Amino acid sequence: MNFVDVARYYTLFMSVMVAAGGIMGFVKAGSKPSLIAGVSSGIVLAILFAVSGNHPKECIIGSLITFFVLDTTFTMRLVKTKKVMPAGLMLVLCLIGFIVNGVAFTK
């Protein structure tokens, strides 16, 4: 398995994690913005994974953009709430996604 494949499958993994996080935010706190943002971001990442077989560079670029937006969002939430869960955890996972896709982009 090459690094581009690692980036592809991490993107798939994160699509599930982000969507699940949005759903959990809605269930636990009744947050409609979390639901909308989480599910829509998860769908974007899932679509990027789906097209990555034929267009890996486009998937990587789209994933980099998406992870950057998510990292920015979770950084602002972490600073505001000062709670590691869920903002800190998601920040770390999205940062890993950004780094993995960044390395894959150079390959």
| pLDDT digits 0-9 by tens, 83-96 | 898 899 999 999 99
Give me the number of domains the chain comprises: 1
Q: Which domain holds residue 79?
A: 3-101
Q: Is it the case that residue 42 has pLDDT exceeding 90?
A: yes
Q: Is it the case that residue 40 has pLDDT exceeding 90?
A: yes
At 77 the pLDDT is 93
Q: Is it the case that residue 73 has pLDDT exceeding 90?
A: yes
In a domain, 90, yes or no: yes
Q: What are phi and psi of 54, to 5 degrees?
A: -95, -25
CA 57/CA 11 separation, integer angstroms: 13
Cβ burial of 2 (10 Å; 0-12, 13-18, 19+) is exposed
At 1 the pLDDT is 79
In a domain, 106, yes or no: no
CA 1/CA 46 separation, integer angstroms: 20
In a domain, 107, yes or no: no
In a domain, 70, yes or no: yes
Q: Which residue has the tokens 């996972």?
A: 93
In a domain, 21, yes or no: yes
In a domain, 20, yes or no: yes
In a domain, 17, yes or no: yes
